[in-house]
Amino acid sequence: MVGRHTARTGRAALVAAGALALAAVHPAAGATPPPAPGPVPSAAQTLGADRPSAAMLQALQRDLKLTSAQATTRLVNEAEAGTRAGRLRNALGAHFAGAWVKGTTAAQLTVATTRSSDASAIRAQGAKAVVVTTSLSDLRAVKDKLDEAALRAKAVATPVRYVDVRTNRVVVQATTRQAGNALVKAAGVPAERVSVRVSKERPRPLADIVGGDAYLINNEFRCSIGISVTKGEQNGFASAGHCGKPGDKTTDPNGTEQGTFQASTFPGKDMSWVGVTSGWTVTPTVRGEGGATVNVAGSVEALVGASVCRSGSTTGWHCGTIQEQNATVTYEEGTVNGLTRTTVCAEPGDSGGPYMAGAQAQGTTSGGSGDCTSGGTTFFQPINPTLNDFGLTLVTATAQNNAPLPQDTAADAWATGRVYETGATVTFGNVRYQCLQSHQAQGAWAPESTPALWQRV
């Protein structure tokens, strides 16, 4: 979140509690540093899941019906499962068909493969093995064809497409079965690889003229701050793309000058970032339950099935689980790709707000359907693509407490501030490492000292 100094109020904190637009938006060479003494930190310790904030625990207890101990255990187990899933994804290669977790606290990891001989290796990592017919890469290729066909036909009756790794199918959400089947036929994809889900719901960007009170765009629209970032010497925050266009001016709720939209993408993606003036200070926190803050430690992407919490200026702090990743949603304003689908509720006024999995930033609210009374489905724009596309650096609590590490000079040398996807390989201290979980690198997470994120190869 960000805060500013004023003569009238002193240092006031501006909640990084993201929001939806509150109006309709038209649409170096050297030896590897010696390892720290003591035991190698676990994935939970590396990612901060072993010390969750009170705000995170309270919301998980309320929304997922857990005790405090169960909530802590769940976060620890989900963090450890992410590392094991990354190892298996790299080992299985083209045969990998997805990974997910389930269970109240155990976070039982399941990994799917198209090759039965992989089952023993999967079980050796403490995961359940499932043999399926279609790899994840092939399912994504099917989804790409469906997205292309939907774009050509401007298929408003088939607003959502996503890969469901748990059923080894691509799901088309359609207002009628006829519309869904027509899209499958138009895309020319095998019908056996697609499931049509009939629903009258149509996701929308969570925008309205009455909700939220975080910041104003051009003194007309309202949104809320998402996640603090920097670009060089410029401080700012990430938010939703539908909140504003490059050059749009922002103010605080009292009309005090705040910043300017530096970049924005919508539709296609739903991402933006605002550069704030020198009177504002970025902090590595977001607003949680009851106004308490939650620290941001990094941007490690959580697994399907993992718990996730969202902050928004209309409905506050709510939790749920990740249902699918890389979903495509067609709003009335246009189609957005690469979103993550969740069971977290949201309402108009919550756009741009931050999503957190433990201490790891996940993204910013895009849109959805339903509400926080009867429940609903919400989609968020993952934060790592936002950081990568705009060249931003996440502001984290861990980064503030660690000096920069020496950088290798090799062309593929590991470097802080770079976003690495699962499977990427780097050089650090003349040693090769492979990425286990997608994240933005920071000085505290050098490959040599973070086995939760990197595997020596």
Q: Provide the annotated active-site residues.
A: 242, 270, 351
Buried b / exposed e along 403-440 (16+ C-beta atoms within 10 A): eebeebeeeebbebbbbbebebebbbbeeebbbbbbbb
Q: What angle do CA 335, 203, 224 make, to 5 degrees?
A: 90
Token reading at 147: 């997205």
CA distance 168 to 189: 15
Separation between Cα atoms, residue 311 and residue 309, nearest integer Å: 7
* Beta pairing, strands 439-440 & 419-420: antiparallel
CB 283 within 8 A of CB 3: yes
DSSP-derived secondary structure for 12-75: EEEP------SS------SPPPPPPSSSPPPHHHHHTTTS--HHHHHHHHHHHT--HHHHHHHH
Residue 268 near residue 336, CB atoms below 8 Å: yes
58: left (phi over 0), alpha (psi -120 to 50) or beta: alpha
Question: How does DSSP assign 399-427, residue by residue?
Answer: HHTSPPPP---STTB--TT-EE-TT-EEE
Q: Give the burial class of 401: count Cβ atoms within 10 A of its Cβ; 0-12 exposed, 13-18 middle, 19 or more buried.
A: exposed
Residue length of the chain: 457
Q: In whole angstroms, what is the distance from residue 1 CA to residue 18 CA?
A: 9
For residue 388, give the H/E element and its range: helix 383-390
β-bridge mates for residue 276, sequence order: 259
CA 43 – CA 46 distance, rounded (Å): 5
Structure-token pair, residue 107: 């976070």
Whether the Cβ atoms of residue 301 and residue 437 lie closer than 8 Å to each other: yes
